[in-house]
Amino acid sequence: MRLMSVSNKIRRLAVSITLLLCCLNFPHLGLGAQSSNETNSKPVISLPENLDQTVKHEAASVKEQLVEQARNLFERKPLNFNLDTLSKIRDWLLELPSRVPEFIHEIIEESQLLGLVGSLILLGFFGALLYSLVGARKVLARLEALIAPVKGHMPDMYYPYVISLVKILAALIIPLLVFGLYSFVHELIDYNASWFLLVGSLLKLWVLGVLLLTFLGEALLPVHLPIPSNHAKAIYKVSRKVVIYALVSIGLLWGAEAFEVSKDVIALLKFVVYLSIVFAGLLLLLKKKSIIAILPPLPYRIYQVFCNALRRLYYPAILITFITGVLWCVGYRALTEFIWIKTWAVAAVFFVIVVFYHNANGLLKRWIEKKEPRDEVAKALHRSLHALLSFVTITTAVIIILDLLGLLDIIQAIISFPLVVIGNTPVSLWILAKATLIIVAFVFISRLLRAYLDYKVYPSIGVDEGLAYSINTLIGYVFIAIGLAAALRAVGLDFKVLMVFAGAVGIGIGLGLQGLAGNVISGLILIFGRKVRKGDWIQVGERLGYVQEVSLRATRVRTRDNIEYLIPNADLTSTTIVNHTLSEPEIRVHIPVGVSYNAEPQQVAQILLTVAERNPNIKKNLKPKVWFVEYGDSSINFELLVWIDVRQISEREVRSQLYFEIFEDLAKAGIEIPFPQRDLHIRSGLPELSNS
């Protein structure tokens, strides 16, 4: 019989699917067609024309793009200097002593142009510049004194980072003030000499240098990073020298450009500076142990594979990096940038994203560990935050890394050709992927919003659990509807096409999915009718349990024995439901008690009331009662009536507790609890038999 039932369901489902396809592909039947007279109208779902040619065209286009990119990689930029440039530099150096009087004369002329006020302002500017070299410590001391009262109001683990941030700000204050003073002077005197404009550029470079050096010092010397201090100091010493050398070199180049040095000399200077920076960077990268020590040990398999691969391939990677750096200096910049983006940029993005995810996940773990182990609402919020964090991290990592590798555009071109045409809209795998991401994002945001409302909002405004569940369910459906609408908007589907699907799905539901449709409709009735709510204690037949979830198809009920039942919603709406907590959670329990006829009824009643009032699970605001029920065959029978909160204790458990206590108190009072007895009377003699 069960096999026949399954086969019937399969057959009905097959018929439904057949009718659905017929409605979609044969609109002239009148189901899903815009007009019953249009017998030659285009099907709602159809395959695109010349699909094979479209695929070949896209493949050829991608191939041409790759070939063009590969050809551009090996283009070399001219260096713009030659051996004559060296001769120019030699001649300039030889003529330099004879041009000293000319330089002095130019300085005197510039001072006359500035005037007395401008010269005093300029001297004040250079005085502030000199003070900045020794005044940073005083500024830092004052800032530390200002934030000292805040120390007691923040966790100890965050205070060192705050101090480091304060040190960075203290180091930047004076350079920024000096640059502000320079900008004020520039606007005041409107002076545009080359050397004066160069000073402004050098001040910007100074601010950048202070920021970089202070950041390196605070990141490595206090060992905020989880690496050994000896490795941190080694990296700091080398990187500090590299940064200072790079800043000084850039300043010299700007000076050469400001004083209108010939372009070939500037090109030679740039070549020398860039090449020297490459060699300086090599000295830093050769400290393998110190560089590898920066990578923190994290418990992720893909990250561990990345670290192991980096350890094994470190020196070959450094060699390739150095060679490509030299190639960049000699003009092969496109090739170098291509290789560096595909290797170090991808590795850096992967590292940053993994560290960000680890730290954010750590914050979530520390937050949930502070909550009670049985706080299910906090756990739900933690799960929602973790799920959204994982989705955002994975999606961001995949998109950025594919873009850096140059694969994102290729994948988009490959999967952008239409697979089907719905109405007049071509649909491709790329469009479906975007629509899926949109829907999934709305689902995760909906879960987070509902969890936050359960955790923070509903308790603060006094919303009961059942109403909160109904509101959350409505919010979930609204977000799913908005997500579907946004996905359809991204796909570009015409909403008229959905009417066809709705009609076809309606036929399928009517023929093959009656049970599912009935459960869904019943679920909506239960959710919004609020006769059965999450948190209610209901009894269906012999089952009494706690309603954990009212979904569209079934209601999940957990008993006190930790047994879960999935009850179809249609069964709940078609049978009598005993809801113990629909209006109030208090129920009255009847405990029958029988005692001997020798007992005093008033004494028995007092004992029963004392036992009830002593039990902590009995509601104190609702007084217990004792009923004298009947005169039984062997006993006089009473009923003890008590009120309990069914959410906290079961009827059987409180009955057991009271029976134990009643038995003990009756025994102490000498009151017998009788049991049924039968008396057998035997006569002493037999009647005499007469002789025949």
Does the pLDDT value for residue 4 go beyond 50? no
- CA atoms of 129 and 27, how far apart (whole Å): 82
- CA atoms of 456 and 448, how far apart (whole Å): 12
- CA atoms of 633 and 636, how far apart (whole Å): 8
* Matching residue, tokens 């020297």: 276
pLDDT of residue 475: 86
642-668 b/e (C-beta count within 10 Å ≥ 16 → b): bbbbbeebbbeebbebbeebbeebbee
Assign 615 to helix, strand or coil.
coil
Q: Single out the residue of 681, 594, 683, 600 nearest to residue 640, CA to CA.
A: 594
Query: Mean pLDDT lowest for which of 98-112, 122-136, 200-214, 541-555?
Result: 122-136
Does the pLDDT value for residue 648 go beyond 70? yes
Confidence of residue 391 (pLDDT cuts 50, 70, 90): very high
462 conformational bin, left if phi > 0, alpha if psi -120 to 50, beta if neither: left
Assign 299 to helix, strand or coil.
coil
* Residues 603-626: tens digit of each pLDDT: 999 999 999 999 888 888 888 999
User: Which 8-state DSSP code applies to residue 496?
Assistant: H
- CA atoms of 190 and 114, how far apart (whole Å): 10
Assign 681 to helix, strand or coil.
coil
Sequence-distant (≥ 6) Cβ neighbours of residue 16 within 8 angstroms: 507, 508, 509, 511, 512, 513
Parallel, antiparallel, or unpaired: how do β-strands 418-422 and 425-428 relate?
antiparallel
- CA atoms of 196 and 122, how far apart (whole Å): 10
Does the pLDDT value for residue 269 go beyond 70? yes
Q: Single out the residue of 15, 27, 16 nearest to residue 422, CA to CA.
A: 27
Q: Give φ, ψ of 69 to 5 degrees.
A: -65, -40
111 conformational bin, left if phi > 0, alpha if psi -120 to 50, beta if neither: alpha
Instruction: Please indicate whether residue 378 or residue 186 has the higher confidence score (pLDDT).
Output: 378
Q: How does the average pLDDT of the chain come out, rounded?
A: 77
Confidence of residue 399 (pLDDT cuts 50, 70, 90): very high
Does the pLDDT value for residue 132 go beyond 80? no
Instruction: Map out the domains of the chain with their CATH numbers.
Output: 105-294 (no CATH), 530-582 (2.30.30.60), 586-668 (3.30.70.100)
Rounded to the nearest 5 percent, the helix, strand and coil shares of the chain are 70, 10, 25
- CA atoms of 495 and 484, how far apart (whole Å): 11
pLDDT of residue 398: 93
Confidence of residue 33 (pLDDT cuts 50, 70, 90): very low
User: Which 8-state DSSP code applies to residue 145?
Assistant: H
* Matching residue, tokens 């050098």: 202
- Kind and range of the H or E element at 537? strand 537-540
50 conformational bin, left if phi > 0, alpha if psi -120 to 50, beta if neither: left
pLDDT of residue 292: 85
Confidence of residue 581 (pLDDT cuts 50, 70, 90): confident
**What counts of helices (H) and strands (E) characterise the chain?**
23, 11
Q: Which residues pair with 645 in a beta bridge?
A: 586
* Residues 63-120: tens digit of each pLDDT: 777 777 777 888 888 888 887 887 877 777 777 677 667 666 666 665 555 555 555 5
Residue 392 · residue 445 · CB < 8 Å: no
Confidence of residue 224 (pLDDT cuts 50, 70, 90): low
* Total residues belonging to the chain: 692
Amino acid identity of residue 460, one-letter, is: S
Instruction: Please indicate whether residue 674 or residue 122 has the higher confidence score (pLDDT).
Output: 674
Does the pLDDT value for residue 526 go beyond 60? yes
